[in-house]
Amino acid sequence: MTQKEGTFLVTHADESSVTVRDVVDAQVLTLSENPGLEGGAVIEATLEAEPPMEVTYAVADLAAEYEIPVAVVDLEPTQQAKDLAADQPVGELTTQERAGTGELHVLTVPDGEAAPTADDVAADEETVARAARLGVDRVEIRTADGVVSVRYLPD
């Protein structure tokens, strides 16, 4: 039997099936049964392909299941984020590792577009997948004119 071990984002869940995406290689897998998972959850698991065709999977071992909250907060980006954005043209993404665990992503956006961009980032499932890949516990999004700061943070 084929097994796949890793961290997965639950992209869809209903009563009878679940679709998950590996946060490292983006492979999408379908679980033939729902063991109680909900969309948006992150799981650390071993999945096993089901015979005879091995096109659907079952959870062989569920090591962890958790949520990674993503919030747009009413705070200005840090001075570090503003400094990173200062030299960048509109539409650029600058990424910087944080001391310890996590990352800081700074997007430069047209004036008036910071709030809608922050909402788009918060709603994007890739934000949670990236957080899971980085091993962080939460995502904080801050805005100012022309700047969106996405902070991938440990607890």
- Between the alpha carbon of residue 127 and those of residues 58, 103, 112, 119, the distances in Å are 26, 12, 22, 11
The pLDDT tens digits of the residues spanning 48-98 come to 999 999 999 999 999 999 999 999 999 999 999 999 999 899 999 999 998
So what's the pLDDT on residue 98? 85
Length of the chain: 155
CATH number of the domain at 28, please: 2.40.50
- For residue 124, give its domain range: 70-153
What would the pLDDT profile of 5-25 be if each residue is shown by its tens digit?
999 999 999 998 999 999 999
Q: What is the distance between the terminal CA atoms of the chain, rounded to a whole angstrom?
A: 37
Please report the pLDDT score of residue 117 as a whole number. Answer: 97
Number of domains in the chain: 2
Residues 77 and 59 in one domain: no
- Based on the fold, state whether residues 74 and 149 are members of the same structural domain: yes
Same domain, 88 and 148: yes
Q: Indicate if 34 and 107 belong to the same structural domain.
A: no
pLDDT at residue number 66:
97
86 by DSSP, 3-state: which? helix
Is the sign of the CA dihedral 30, 35, 39, 43 positive or negative?
A: negative
**83 and 139 share a domain?**
yes
42, 82: one domain? no
pTM of the model: 0.91
Do residues 61 and 75 both lie within one domain? no
- What pLDDT, in 10s, does the model give residues 98-108? 888 899 999 99
CATH number at residue 86: 3.30.1360
57 shares its domain with 89: no
